[in-house]
């Protein structure tokens, strides 16, 4: 089983749609969770951290379910500029230090 | 202003010819990382430096080496590139993330082609 699993997509949605991405992780001891955004042939950039109580940043809402080891990202009122790959990222403690494990990403394509 | 800089942005090398990729940062972060990312795959951590302490991932091939001469610079050396090493190489930095809670800042990457 992969440490971080995501639906690869692509998700093709019209502008204005609401879209949700899911992610599962295997290490129950993970403490920190993030969503990164990666545009085609560019570097990943932090979109938002995910907190236990869930958090919202404008049109973006992240949820964490520790019992199910599940993270979600909801995007409301999709814009063309939201087209990108969304990477689910989880920290694990291994070999004496913390490191981030990236999912392979879910691709979103927003069309007019 | 760029905070994590990678040079070159594109590198073409021949099979078996050593190549060095460089990364520099203006953030004064004590942790620096090298990732390999192939098309449609997740970034894969190769190794990282916590200050001067080098931490190699267990599955990183011996063909990959790294140097960090000071806080600002870090190098990735590929001693004998194979066709399978063609990828995007990403450098990232973070503050003292002992709990893994700090954001990682990525450079723009170096796209390596092996001919």
Asked if A43 and B45 come within 8 Å (Cβ–Cβ), the reply is: no
Asked if A44 and B106 come within 8 Å (Cβ–Cβ), the reply is: yes
In this model, does residue B97 exceed pLDDT 70?
no
Which of B55, B58, B104 is opposite residue A100, by nearest beta carbon?
B104
Burial class (CB in 10 A: 0-12, 13-18, 19+), B37: buried
Asked if B103 and A103 come within 8 Å (Cβ–Cβ), the reply is: no
Percentage with pLDDT > 70 across chain B:
94
Chain A residues closer than 8 Å to B41 by CB? 104
∠ CA A85-A50-A38, rounded to 5° = 15
The per-residue pLDDT for B88 is 97
Chain B, nearest residue to A85 by Cα: B40
Chain B residues closer than 8 Å to A31 by CB? 99-101
pLDDT digit string, tens, across residues B36-79? 999 989 999 999 998 999 999 989 999 999 999 999 999 999 99
Question: Any chain B CB within 8 A of the CB of A102?
Answer: yes
Nearest 5°: phi and psi at B96? Answer: -65, 85
Burial class (CB in 10 A: 0-12, 13-18, 19+), B2: exposed
Per-residue pLDDT of chain A (112 residues; tens, 9 = 90+): 788 999 888 999 999 999 999 999 998 888 889 999 999 989 999 999 998 878 999 999 999 999 999 999 999 999 999 999 999 999 887 777 778 899 999 999 999 9
A79-111: b (≥16 Cβ within 10 Å) or e: eeebbbbbbbbbbbeeeeebbbbbbbbbbbebe
In this model, does residue B31 exceed pLDDT 70?
yes
Identify the band that residue B100 occupies on the pLDDT scale cut at 50, 70 and 90.
low
């Amino acid at each position: 089983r992969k440490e971080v699993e995501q639906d690869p997509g692509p998700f093709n949605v019209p502008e204005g749609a609401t879209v949700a991405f899911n992610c599962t992780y295997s290490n129950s001891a993970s403490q920190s969770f993030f969503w990164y955004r990666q545009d085609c042939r560019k570097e990943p950039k932090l979109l938002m951290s995910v907190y236990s109580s869930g958090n919202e940043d404008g049109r973006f809402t992240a949820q964490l379910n520790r019992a199910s080891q599940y993270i979600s990202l909801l995007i409301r009122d999709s814009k063309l500029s939201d087209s990108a790959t969304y990477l689910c990222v989880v920290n694990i403690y291994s070999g004496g230090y913390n490191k981030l494990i990236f999912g392979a990403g879910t691709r979103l394509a927003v069309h007019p | 202003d760029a905070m994590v800089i990678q040079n070159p942005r594109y590198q073409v090398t021949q099979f078996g010819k050593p190549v060095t990729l460089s990364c520099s940062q203006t953030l004064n972060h004590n942790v620096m990382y090298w990732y390999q990312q192939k098309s449609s795959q997740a970034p894969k951590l190769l190794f990282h430096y916590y200050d001067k302490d080098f931490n190699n991932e267990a599955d990183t091939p011996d063909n990959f080496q790294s140097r960090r001469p000071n806080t600002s610079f870090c190098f990735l050396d590929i001693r004998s590139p194979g066709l399978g090493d063609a990828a995007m190489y990403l450098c990232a930095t973070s503050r003292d993330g002992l709990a893994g809670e700090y954001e990682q800042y990525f450079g723009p990457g170096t796209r390596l082609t092996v001919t």
